[in-house]
Structure 1
């Protein structure tokens, strides 16, 4: 090679390097929804909610209720192990003490178009998968294309506004959008988990499988016993372990998820020492199930951690694909028959408040009557949404807690009559004269005690409620196939709701199996409000759209609201510790650590409890 050729090559290489540096200079180390300044500066060393000096070591043993039969969480088949998420890295990572801010992980920086029609990510050169293979832009495009083509329906809905993806160079990838209306979309793309193209070539991505996957994250799959346990081990060579977004996190050397049949046996396993940590969702259990000598001695700890995140909505969902539930008067009547006050006193030790919003525990929840800004959104929909949106604040029915709900029963009976239902031979019949029998699909026995009082109340109206309990795998498959009349559903919310609302409430999602629109809600007015929320141009506009959507959903009685709490309830052995300042919007389990010198090995009773629970 002559000198001129060599100089030309060096000049070209230097030009590429300078171009890359200039590009990096124009990018951002963090993305925020409305371009407001992020909480943490560019030179931050760790998040405030971690202990940056947390010791590494120990094993975290947790329960997997119901079991898993797949290590592929990206497809709509099988029951994936939840903990497998820890083997994957994303382009960016959301902080847990800001409503919606993402900081660079795989991507060192990101650059948004001024008109929000594209986002470019600059990948870290040191990023690599757990087999040492470098992580590059082609892996990002492979992930996106593969999940769109073979992944669960959620991904196609979540990324519906992405037009195309282009690799600009090995460390640079750009996503082009169909329009610039969706301010959240750059951040949604930042949540993209990056899968290894070289690993998946020649494999069937679309199937559920227990084959050990390859990731780039802090943990790797060490062993899997089908139907029994999954063991993850911290990757000592994790490429991103010293990044500010990871400092003080992923402190356990190993995470073991053991399978238990139901929550009851998992509690016994915790008390026996077979598992270390458990989040309790049942108020009765929290009140009485953990009373052991270890609790009284301070070895087992019960703690309520403040939850600053919107609680979303949990409720008894009506499958509106069934003709039985297509009349809003029927849905309202059935909603009146849930006696929350009695249930809360007798079954929950008054531990809950009734959920009255799809955005509970946040400024996004609708209250009172619509204000002027909401009316600008709602007035054009008058006649297409319930009239009571404009005239009445939504309120759940309230009983005296005695278990007698005659006023609610009378109103429910009146609504059913208006819908063409009537009683014949002591049985309620629908508008077609068919005796009404409703199947309620459940997966866990603890729900049955909650549903039995509701079943009795419906019986007083001549309606037969059949509780159909199936195992976890059957439950997942029947819910995906929409093969149910009623079921419990949960619609979690973030402080900045966005594209996931399409997956919850839109007509398009109702027609696709596997989405979270289990209600089968198909309402053009709701579709319009969801689009408006996603395209909101400011935080104030987002709040207004969320409140307007909230009102319409509530007055359509798409489900029967359940209950909520402003704390996370956690029971754990004192060998575990957590930062004194927990994150505002998450329970932050990966910020916990094992106390140095604390024993890990369960005593013989724990071994017996663990074995007997499977």
Structure 2
């Protein structure tokens, strides 16, 4: 990569922010993020709980398992995101951003006051080293972007330009979201071999104060934090101390919360929320139950099927397995019917597909691939609906018909193929309290499949074994959760792209290889306006949903947080992304 001075006339003026489409919602002189309270008091201590353990404090390399919170609390990027817009960035380490009309390059100018936690200034040398190191030796999530960078060059004392090697309008924004590390810390050392004691120096509001492996990590707010007066930071990171405690499973974590040892928990089960949060601390008013709505797509949560293995490579078999999954009965039994089902990957938002026949621009995008698309993609596809009874006879008959079409027959009570081999499927789940509901679903599902002659085996493994088997795609079915944003982009290739289908550790768990999906992602990345982008995303949603890769379960239509009553948030100005990164603990505070 070029490390030369490469000045030249720009085609656009430097700006305080950049949006994927149109202009940033906030003006150059904005005071704070719209969902933050700029007058929030500072101070106090909050304790959060993680399930599992950790053996690393470096979230930027593949080696080890760090606490997931570290990257956002201890390190910063050139630009920061507003979670009240689909995809807009504002200056953080960089005071301005500039790009050309086609977004073939992007240039950032550093703030002169930007500092690492040890007081050293952030330099362009740090920026270029961070991009190059993370792009070549960092965690795989950083490497895809780097393959699309043709050059990186210093263009002035505080400015750097990245030029891209392919047409992709999202790259100018993604470039602003790479974490910046301190080059001098790693001089003559291999960052990929960093041990637990090698804590990366960052520029963020918090620093690691102390830790005990697999037990706790304590973060202290840096009293000399350089960016506390920035508009992007006013009213955020209000706690003096954030302590992360680690628990063996979710049940133990919830008991610790009830005992007052943890400040807040998130509850993902609507039935548990309705029935298990009436303990004495709630009745006394010491604990508050807050529900946080959002405008995000549903994303996809469910049991993904590994199409690398026969017979799951046959869409008819996958459709039969989806049809036999008695969601209505399972949902009523386990959640009291309180959580609606996911109907597509982007359901609940303008990006979600219509369930009738494809029309207009969506149809035009998909038509060139008509011969390769599974039934329902163009004609319209909706998930099968059960009758709500335990037997679910109609859907089981339909599933049996599909399996027969695919060459399976019942022989001596077993479903066998032409070679007489019985159909046995293995569901891999992590041994974790959070997976208890998934395990209960599979118990009910196994009884339904048994009536079709299919044997369903449930394998529960510890976290380490699960991670290894998932990375090697050693499962027939497993639990999958993909949160999707209002501005999906390059990550979609990592989720669904053919180049990742056989790459160990990739997020393409189903192993899908769809030219249509990749073409829709390309159309999303090159769209010049929101209308074209929405059409391309709706078309992708059709390809994914009609591909029958996942047995969808319920959506998380609202965030549920039980918290100590002194913990407060700006309830009158919630972000469109609701609860998530950038909300708790970032914009909360302790009320006296």
Q: Same fold (TM over 0.5)?
A: yes
Alignment of 1:401-550 (within 5 A): 401-443=388-430, 444-445=432-433, 446=436, 447-550=438-541
Partners of 1:171 and 1:512 in 2: CA distance: 38
Residues 454-500 of structure 1: CA deviation (Å, up to 9, x unaligned): 11111211212111111222222221222222111111111111111
1:103 is displaced (CA, Å) by 0.2
2:577 aligned to 585, 592, 609, which one?
Answer: 585
Cα 1:208–1:553 shift into 2, 3 Å: farther
Cα distance in 2 between the residues matched to 1:100 and 1:514 = 27
Instruction: Supply the distance in 2 between the matched residues of 1:575 and 1:431 (Cα, whole angstroms).
Output: 65
Which residue in the other structure is 1:49 paired with?
A: 35
1:106 aligns to what?
93
Is the partner of 2:191 in helix, strand or coil?
coil
Q: Distance in 2 between matches of 1:409 and 1:60?
A: 50
The answer on whether the counterparts of 2:112 and 2:158 sit within 8 Å (CA) in structure 1 is yes
Q: Give how far 1:429 is off.
A: 2.3
Q: Return the alpha-carbon distance in structure 2 between the equivalents of residues 158 and 452 of structure 1.
A: 41
Deviations 1:348-406 (A, max 9, x none): 12221111111122100001221211111111111011242222x22111112121211
For 1:265, the equivalent position in structure 2 comes to 252
Find the partner of 1:155 among 142, 148, 163.
142
Partner of 1:10: none
For residue 273 of structure 1, give the secondary structure of its aligned residue in structure 2.
Answer: coil
Q: Which residue of 2 aligns with 1:608?
A: none
Could you say which residue in structure 2 is the equivalent of 1:390? 378
Are the counterparts in 2 of residues 78 and 473 from structure 1 also a CA contact under 8 Å? no
**2:304 matched to 1:312?**
no
Q: Tell me which residue corresponds to 1:61.
A: 47
Tell me, yes or no, if structure 1 residue 189 matches structure 2 residue 155.
no
* Alpha-carbon shift at residue 199 of structure 1 (Å): 1.2
TM-score by length of 1: 0.90
Match among 544, 557, 565 for residue 548 of structure 2: 557
| Structure 2 length-normalised TM | 0.94
* SS at 1:233 equivalent: strand
Residues of 2 paired with 1:172 and 1:433: CA distance? 67
> Which whole-Å CA distance do the structure 2 matches of 1:458 and 1:544 have between them?
37
Shift of 1:453: 0.7
Offset at residue 329 of structure 1 (A) = 0.8
Residues 267-304 of structure 1, C-alpha deviations (whole Å, 9 max, x = no match): 11111101011111122321222221111122111111
Take 1:395 and 1:472, find their aligned partners in 2: how far apart are those partners?
Answer: 34
Q: CA deviation at 1:156?
A: 2.4
| Equivalent residue, structure 2, for 1:165 | 152
> 64-73 or 84-93, which moves further after superposition?
64-73
Q: Deviations over 1:176-195 (max 9, x none)?
A: 1113x311111111111111
Q: Any residues of structure 2 matched to 1:247-286 within 5 Å, and which? A: 247-286=234-273
Match of 1:210 in 2: 196
- The alignment status of 1:134 with 2:121, answered yes or no, reads yes
* Whole-Å separation in 2 of the counterparts to 1:258 and 1:50: 26
Cα pair 2:559 2:578 within 8 Å, conserved: no
The change in CA–CA distance for 1:167 and 1:371 in structure 2 (over 3 A counts) is same
User: In 2, Cα distance between the equivalents of 1:330 and 1:55?
Assistant: 57
| Superposed displacement of residue 559, structure 1 | 1.1
Determine which structure has more spread, i.e. the larger CA radius of gyration.
Answer: 1
Question: Which of the numbers 273, 279, 282 marks the counterpart of 1:292?
Answer: 279
Q: Does 1:371 align with 2:359?
A: yes
The answer for unaligned runs of 5 or more in structure 2 is none
In 1: Cα distance, 2:420 partner to 2:427 partner: 21
Q: Tell me, in whole angstroms, the C-alpha distance in 2 between the residues paired with 1:160 and 1:490.
A: 26
| Alignment-derived partner of residue 77 in structure 1 | 63
Runs of 4+ in structure 1 deviating by more than 6 angstroms, as ranges, are: 22-25
CA distance in 1 between counterparts of 2:411 and 2:143 reads: 47
Q: Is the 8 A contact 1:283 1:348 kept in 2?
A: yes
